[in-house]
A = this chain, B = another copy of it.
């Protein structure tokens, strides 16, 4: 393929660090995109040469215009296309001829408008591939690089953001302008800022890999409306997090069905199921955020301060009420209130007023000034029982707000431990907050945001500290048998496998199946039932019958030859009555599984992420509580364990409240085997094992019923 990852990487470097660039389709009508872009670039002191290309203008802003790209004598690293979509392909062709490898296509009017737009998008992609070019867009706001080596604002954003360590990638251009405005007010800086639009060529995945290697970037933020390559995104995230320890924060819109349908009409793309996005992000280590503000709240915590070593926080406040509210929020997020060392407690006793509460949350009392805050904050930071400090301030009449802000900034600089602040109020505290923000102290309006950000930073720290496990591949599986069953079924245009074959497939992948066989006569049924050993179960086998219970095609707990005969006849009778048109292939006779806990395992295919594995307890737990967990395949052992333990009803298996513990180890293995089956057999569209009967610890499981859809 022309667009290999390596090529994208190489061409991306020129997108962010071009030594020369051409703005193709430039004009000088202020307030139009083509003009805004060129003025943006010139205004920010771009470290390279700018070539306006315009069929009409002689010069723009004192710079000579070229009529065609080919007219530019010197080499050009980057082309920025602002022509109408109808002629973009022509301009792109000329870029290719000129040998330009890196392009940003700002122009709209492609996939997002459907119809002719789709064709145009296909066309420009083909041209790019032909010339080994890479492009961002189309239908985007552009690209910003604050690195002093580049100082590139190739966008129609209102202004260049401050330099910083946060990279921001966005599928929506409009959101970018809001984000830049938001960030400016809070002195949040960016390393790279990319609106990638329709991602017809360069995708968020290419950009993520580029940012992994970008020394200017510490934290990566992505806004996504649609995920086209789920597994690719998960792989990239995993690699980036483990190799560079850079956190990836994502905002994915379309959480609800209504949201998803709006997304579809917006960028002409279908959103996958949101539950699966949650699972996939969790598996890949991507921190999913609920909104822009939350994303930046967490981002500044992780960018400005070190990650917390553990979850014990100290709260310093000059007001009791907010101290209580912050405690509530911290505990809610799973943080602990630190217990101060004796030394710290002694210092607090000596240095703080008698009326102060020297236990955590420390209340330095309403008349506290900077010196008292200093004592409390510095000693809390020093205490080895403390992993992070939350400083709360309310503007009392005595409070020297700015002085306290400065003091906090100074103390923070002395310790490699996170310190976050919340100056409550707005007008009076504004100057203090500004000082904090300029000095990279994460500031939060709400105790909830502060606690959540700390918790996410702590969880990320734990993740990068833990070992990555890989999905095992079981060798004891009979792939050929399964492939042959699936092939035959497909040849016969079957929509699903009959019981016997579904069971065969699972057996071939090492699932514990009770012994069983299909019979075609009453005599054979008795013979086989006796051979298998009572009690047995008998089920109708028919291509046309999916829901065997509904036609009374199943008899359980058959304990004698007599009962076998009766069951054989009644099944035939029932099926003939309920579904006279169905052809009965035979009756499946199987060993009756002993009593145990019922669980359900399943496979479905997600349009973005591919095979997804489901686990939950059966019966009422799945039917009424919908208490199931999803994970994207392949599923490793630890993930399988999480799938089981994180169901709310897992107590039924673990032996809660003096129940017998069940054989969780075997369920774990079954989940992994199912994951392997789903990955190796893409022909399987959906699969249900319902129920699987789980016996007591070390006693195994049995598949009691299974369906496979093709």
Are B328 and A259 within 8 A (Cβ)? yes
Nearest Cβ distance between residue A288 and chain B, in whole angstroms? 13
8 A Cβ contacts from A347-392 to B: 355, 357, 359, 361, 363, 366
Are B651 and A267 within 8 A (Cβ)? no
Nearest Cβ distance between residue A366 and chain B, in whole angstroms? 5
Selected contact of A174 from candidates B291, B320, B357, B651, CB within 8 Å: B320
Q: Which residue of B lies closest to A623 (CB)?
A: B657
- State the interface size on chain A (CB cutoff 8 A): 87
Contacts of A468 in B (CB 8 A): none
Contacts of A520 in B (CB 8 A): none
8 A Cβ contacts from A152-191 to B: 156-158, 170-175, 177-182, 184-186
Are B181 and A424 within 8 A (Cβ)? yes
Are A181 and B321 within 8 A (Cβ)? no
Q: Which residue of B lies closest to A33 (CB)?
A: B397
Are B255 and A363 within 8 A (Cβ)? no
Are A156 and B291 within 8 A (Cβ)? no
Are A357 and B181 within 8 A (Cβ)? no
A499 CA / B361 CA spacing, docked (Å) = 47
Kindly state whether residue A7 has any CB partner on chain B within 8 Å: no
Kindly state whether residue A337 has any CB partner on chain B within 8 Å: yes
Kindly state whether residue A624 has any CB partner on chain B within 8 Å: yes
Contacts of A259 in B (CB 8 A): 324-325, 327-328, 331
Nearest Cβ distance between residue A121 and chain B, in whole angstroms? 16
Contacts of A77 in B (CB 8 A): none
Contacts of A329 in B (CB 8 A): 291
Which of A304-312, A440-448, A537-545 interfaces with chain B? A440-448
Are B177 and A394 within 8 A (Cβ)? yes
Q: Which residue of B lies closest to A224 (CB)?
A: B321
Kindly state whether residue A594 has any CB partner on chain B within 8 Å: no
Are A322 and B178 within 8 A (Cβ)? yes
Kindly state whether residue A681 has any CB partner on chain B within 8 Å: no
Given contacts A255-B332, A256-B331, contact A175 B319 (CB under 8 A): yes
Given contacts A291-B448, A427-B185, A430-B185, contact A225 B321 (CB under 8 A): yes
A648 CA / B649 CA spacing, docked (Å) = 13
Q: Which residue of B lies closest to A253 (CB)?
A: B324
Nearest Cβ distance between residue A340 and chain B, in whole angstroms? 14
A sample of 17 cross-chain residue pairs with beta-carbon separation below 8 angstroms, ordered by A number, consists of A113-B355, A171-B321, A177-B394, A177-B395, A177-B396, A178-B322, A181-B427, A182-B425, A253-B328, A254-B328, A259-B331, A263-B324, A266-B320, A293-B445, A624-B649, A624-B656, A625-B625
